[in-house]
Structure 1
Amino acid sequence: MTALQFPCTIFQTQNRMDDYSAKDMHCSDLSESQLKTHFHLLDVSTRANPYTLTKITPFTQPQSVFHGSRGEGEKITRQQCAAILFDEFRDLSRTFSLYGPYKPLIKQMITHMQKANGAPFRHMLLDRALREHIVNDRAENSTLARLKEVIGKNIDWGNKYYPVREKDELKGAIMDGKLPKFDRFQDNFNGMGITVHDTWATHITIKSLQVDNDRYRAVVHYKVQDHFGLDSDDIANVKFNQFHFFRIWFVLQRYSQFNFKPFITIMETTIEITGSRK
């Protein structure tokens, strides 16, 4: 038999890394008419009207009893309007990020969208969140639990290596498991559900495998990407469309008069798995 050589990538999602053609990465592609007609985005912000480029006051809000009593709001430039919308975007994010170490991430990512022109986003807190999710997942179908089981079962203990013929077993372990995603109940409030939630692409690589006597030590690397952007299905969903937070996000990203690009979020972590011969 032949030993499997490491590092070895054992799993890749069908969605590819660095996919700027994905639907939620579209930018500046919709007109005012499309936003209003197809997505019903008439009431976008409580502070500024992105279509008329005017400030919104109690006298100019359509739902206000004072509406129309003092004419249109103060005229502003497109840059001033965008700045007002981003400030409101950040303020509204507090609803989705109430506690915990990841609470600051959403504001940083909104500011990144405002200023970074679509550059990828990395942060040590994202890497930490990914690691804690993987390590603390006690479910039987967690990728870590499934890998541990398959590695221990298929090692050639006599020759102290993992046979290449059993490589597909490693991929199968991941396919049968649940990839790390931030869709748990606590992620609705700790900042990870709004910053990442589901993920776009995942690669899992075994960097090394050491077999000594009746024990083994494997080093596994996870690389995960997500997109900080909205597609048409997102905003068409009543769950999202009802919130000014998502309305502002969609308009800043997709309105042809703005040019604020979505971006790729990158998370990575390396985890050690140890086990023994059964």
Structure 2
Amino acid sequence: MSALQLPCIIYKTQKQMDDYTAADMRCGDLDEAQLQKHFHLTDVSTKVNPYTQTRITPFNQPQSMFYGMRGPSEPVSPQLCVRTLFDEFRALSRIFSLYGPYKHVIEQMITHMQNGHGSKFRSLYLDMALKEQIWNDRSGKSSLLRIKTVLQESIDFEMGYIKNDLKKKLYDEIMAYAVLPKFNNLFDRFNGLGISVHDTWATHITLQSLLVSNDKYKAVINYRIQDHFGLDILDILNPFYFQFRIFRIWFVLQRWAKYGFKPFITEMNATVTIQGAKGG
């Protein structure tokens, strides 16, 4: 049997990279009546009413005891209304990013949505977080530990190479037993990673190189992961997300035809090196 040609992708998800057709990548596709009647998005911001483009006061705030009484209604320009919504979006994100080196990333992502026109988002901090997550996962479902186990069993130390069927073995092992990197534990709810990334959309794992010498090996593995910074209809219909004003503002900014701010793809990369020995 021939040796495996490197580099090669040893695992990829069924969901595709660069998928701009996904439901959470839609924008500007809903009108005001749909937002208010179907999705019940009447109480959106505490600062401005996005539909009437007026400042919120005790007289026009839906939850106020003064709602419906005659009072001043100060109009704001469309540009100021949008800036106010994004400022509130950023401010509300801070309750999900209280500490740690990644807490500022979510505000950068919100600003990217405001100014990025749907372009891809990359951050060295997210790359660092991904690498940390991969290295720190010591559970039996760690994808990296699963890869190491298969390599250990598959390398022909006498001949100094790995057989071509390793690709299938690695794919089957990851598919059956591993959990792919994501940011959904308790700490991620408060360090900014849960709101920035949370789950992921598509993953490619590539075996970039493998050196076998003197009954030892060193393998270089790359993780390329994408997520979507956008909301779909199921997100806003979920009572858990709907209760938070941040998601109501986000959905209106993204999905209302008058605004239509583009969601975007977040891409993370991490390269790790693993080593082992015959019989080890």
| CA displacement at 1:72 relative to structure 2 | 4.7
Q: Which residue of 2 aligns with 1:148?
A: 148
CA RMSD of aligned residues (A): 1.1
- Judge which range, 55-64 or 148-157, deviates more: 55-64
| Aligned match of 1:120 | 120
- Report the count of equivalent residues: 278
Match of residue 32 from structure 2: 32
Normalising by structure 2, what TM-score? Answer: 0.97
Q: How does 1:1-278 map to 2 (within 5 A)?
A: 1-175=1-175, 176-278=177-279
> Quick check: 2:182–2:198 contact (8 Å CA) kept in 1?
yes
CA distance in 1: counterparts of 2:189 and 2:143, whole angstroms: 23
Question: Which amino acid in 2 is paired with 1:261?
Answer: K
Cα deviation 1:142-175 (Å, max 9, x = unaligned): 0110000000101111100000023211112221
Cα shift at 1:63: 2.4
CA contact (8 A) 2:13 2:204 kept: yes
> 2-side partners of 1:137 and 1:247: how far apart?
34
Aligned amino acid, residue 233 of structure 1: L
Tell me the SS of whatever aligns to 1:164. Answer: coil
Quick one: which amino acid aligns to residue 128 of structure 2?
R
Counterpart residue type for residue 254 of structure 1: R
Question: Quick one: structure 1 residues 208 and 53, their matched pair in 2 at CA, closer, same or farther if it must change by over 3 Å?
Answer: same
Aligned partners of 2:218 and 2:274 also within 8 Å: yes
Aligned-residue offset at 1:67: 3.2
Contact 2:49 2:56 in 1 (8 A): yes
Could you tell me whether the CA contact under 8 Å between 2:46 and 2:56 is conserved in 1?
yes
Taking a change above 3 Å as real, the CA distance of residues 211 and 193 of structure 1, as seen in their structure-2 partners, is same
Check whether the contact 1:54–1:72 (CA below 8 A) recurs between aligned residues: no
CA contact (8 A) 1:215 1:274 kept: yes
SS at match of 1:141: coil
CA distance in 2, matches of 1:148, 1:166: 12
- Structure 2, unmatched stretches of 5+, are none
Counterpart amino acid of 1:219? V
1:220 partner SS: strand
Q: How many Å apart are 1:70 and its aligned residue?
A: 4.5
Q: Deviations over 1:9-37 (max 9, x none)?
A: 11110110000000000000000111111
The amino acid that maps onto 1:263 is: F
CA distance in 2, matches of 1:253, 1:205: 34
Q: Which amino acid aligns with 1:18?
A: D
